Homo-oligomer: A and B are copies of this chain.
Amino acid sequence: MAKQLHLGAFMRPVSIHTGAWRYPGALPDANFSLAAIQRFIRSLEAAKFDYFFMADHLGVLNLPRQALMRSHTVTSFEPFTLLSALAGVTERIGLVATASTTYDEPFHVARRFASLDHISGGRTGWNVVTTSNPDSSRNFGLETQPDHAARYHRAREFHDVVTGLWDSFADDAFVMDAAKGIYFDPARMHALNHKGEHFSVSGPLNIARPVQGWPVIFQAGASDPGRQLAAETAEAVFAAESTLEGSKAYYDDVKGRAATVGRNPDHIKIMPAVFLVVGDTVEEARAKRAKLDSLVHYDSGIHSLSGMLGHDVSGFDPDGPLPDIPESNASKSSRRFMIELARAENLTIRQLAAKAGSYGGLAFVGTAKTIADEMQHWLEQAACDGFTTMFPYLPEGLEDFTGKVVPELQARGLFRTEYEGETLRDHLGLPRPDNRFFA
């Protein structure tokens, strides 16, 4: 059989687009409405998605109030509580939670994932993050976040402790022999007794080994240490490249690094995030996206634009052209991109702010056929193993994808029509890890 795509859904926020909650037909409270999220996950499961993914941020974004008040992401469920609740209304779809290695304890994280894996019958994945938002530190007693290298160093040890704790019991430890009064075989229990640079954790974990052995390890590092951590530990990664070439290079780099450390490159799936707008014609899809972009509030867009330019442009006339912006220490590639765009399309500051406030990453905007073509092309070019889909507005944008694009992918033999296995590892074609302490 030809290689098939994997599909995950990026569901926190349910739409990453700041105008989404204002779109006609959208549910403004979808980020914190259990009923809405239950509806979404049921659609995704009916479409046989591999997983439902919850990002996580340990605080409210540190934006000026005028920009923050436009945001539909300021309130949201916490991932473990939400995914545990969703486990009960689904049977097969994977449930991926983000947990931070910078602001949490390995014992807590190991336990919560093990518990969710038991509750869901083996459907859990852990998105390992070092927490990108620097403001989070101030919710955990630190003035500033630990530096990038220190965060990744801690992340690596954190991973080793968590996986070691998951292996506290052999899969067959719990004999539950009532007649003899033997609940478990103590020879099949291992206390980790980890003592490292960042953590000292005795163990054992007070829960049986997860159904999957270990929940699936996800990662999204883009930097060199991020990619290295992914290569050494991850089984699925989110690439954030916005071009086919960029994603191919990422794919080769991360799979190459995995091979270098002795891993099977097939056991690390590259799942770029892609923003999707589906129309019955390409023009309709583009018009939908333009409408959505027009719903980015000026106060929000202008703040994003200032950030991208590295210069506060909120004082200029919104309906005038972009004046010359001086180079600054904060200058980045986004500055050049935005200035060129303003000149090339002759945009006002207001028009430019709407673009800045929109989603800037990889986007497929078209019909079921053109989007399926693009996905197929990326797969055939070995730029990915599948996609982490992002919906523009919900429920419509999600149901356009599950109702129109998924059947097209299925008709081409590029996506499953039934779940073949029970666990997230089954869906992704990943092996169950051996227990490092017990055969």
Question: CB within 8 Å of B: which residues of A?
Answer: 21-22, 26, 28-29, 32, 34, 57-60, 65-66, 68-72, 74-78, 80-82, 84-85, 87-89, 103-105, 107-108, 111-112, 114-116, 118-119, 135, 138-141, 169, 174, 176, 178, 181-186, 189, 199-208, 295, 297, 299-300
Q: List 21 A-B contacts (CB under 8 A).
A: A21-B178, A28-B183, A32-B207, A58-B107, A60-B203, A60-B205, A66-B186, A69-B184, A71-B183, A72-B183, A74-B183, A74-B184, A80-B112, A81-B115, A85-B85, A85-B87, A104-B105, A107-B139, A138-B202, A181-B295, A181-B297
Question: Does the CB pair A69–B116 fall under 8 Å?
Answer: no
Instruction: Report, nearest first, the 5 A-B pairs whose CB atoms are least far apart.
Output: A84-B84, A78-B115, A88-B88, A181-B297, A65-B186
Query: Which residues on the B side are within 8 Å of A189 (C-beta)?
Result: 65, 74
Question: Does the CB pair B140–A174 fall under 8 Å?
Answer: no
Do A82 and B84 contact each other (CB < 8 Å), given the known contacts A118-B32, A178-B21, A181-B297?
Answer: yes
* Cα–Cα, bound, A57→B114 (Å): 15
Question: Does the CB pair B183–A141 fall under 8 Å?
Answer: no
Question: Does the CB pair B183–A77 fall under 8 Å?
Answer: no
Question: Does the CB pair B60–A182 fall under 8 Å?
Answer: no
* Cα–Cα, bound, A78→B210 (Å): 13
Contact of A34 among B76, B80, B119 (CB under 8 A): B119
* Cα–Cα, bound, A105→B34 (Å): 25
> In whole Å, how far is A188's beta carbon from the nearest beta carbon of chain B?
10
Question: Does the CB pair A80–B70 fall under 8 Å?
Answer: no
Question: Does the CB pair A60–B204 fall under 8 Å?
Answer: yes
Query: Which residues on the B side are within 8 Å of A184 (C-beta)?
Result: 69, 74-75
Query: Which residues on the B side are within 8 Å of A34 (C-beta)?
Result: 118-119
Question: Does the CB pair A105–B208 fall under 8 Å?
Answer: no
Question: Does the CB pair B181–A70 fall under 8 Å?
Answer: yes
Query: Which residues on the B side are within 8 Å of A21 (C-beta)?
Result: 176, 178, 183
* Cα–Cα, bound, A208→B32 (Å): 9
Question: Does the CB pair A81–B119 fall under 8 Å?
Answer: yes
**Which residue of chain B has its CB nearest to the CB of A72?**
B183
> In whole Å, how far is A79's beta carbon from the nearest beta carbon of chain B?
9
* Cα–Cα, bound, A57→B115 (Å): 14
**Which residue of chain B has its CB nearest to the CB of A199?**
B141
Query: Which residues on the B side are within 8 Å of A59 (C-beta)?
Result: 107, 202, 206
Q: Identify 10 new A-B residue pairs, CB closer than 8 A, beyond the known A66-B186, A69-B185.
A: A21-B183, A26-B178, A28-B176, A58-B107, A74-B184, A81-B115, A85-B88, A103-B108, A138-B202, A181-B300
**Which residue of chain B has its CB nearest to the CB of A188?**
B69
> In whole Å, how far is A129's beta carbon from the nearest beta carbon of chain B?
15
**Which residue of chain B has its CB nearest to the CB of A141?**
B200
Do A182 and B69 contact each other (CB < 8 Å), given the known contacts A80-B84, A105-B140, A107-B139?
Answer: yes
**Which residue of chain B has its CB nearest to the CB of A34?**
B119
Question: Does the CB pair A78–B141 fall under 8 Å?
Answer: no
Question: Does the CB pair B78–A169 fall under 8 Å?
Answer: no
Query: Which residues on the B side are within 8 Å of A206 (C-beta)?
Result: 57-60, 74-76
Question: Does the CB pair B119–A85 fall under 8 Å?
Answer: yes
Query: Which residues on the B side are within 8 Å of A119 (C-beta)?
Result: 34, 77, 81-82, 85
* Cα–Cα, bound, A212→B355 (Å): 40
Question: Does the CB pair B22–A181 fall under 8 Å?
Answer: yes
**Which residue of chain B has its CB nearest to the CB of A69?**
B186
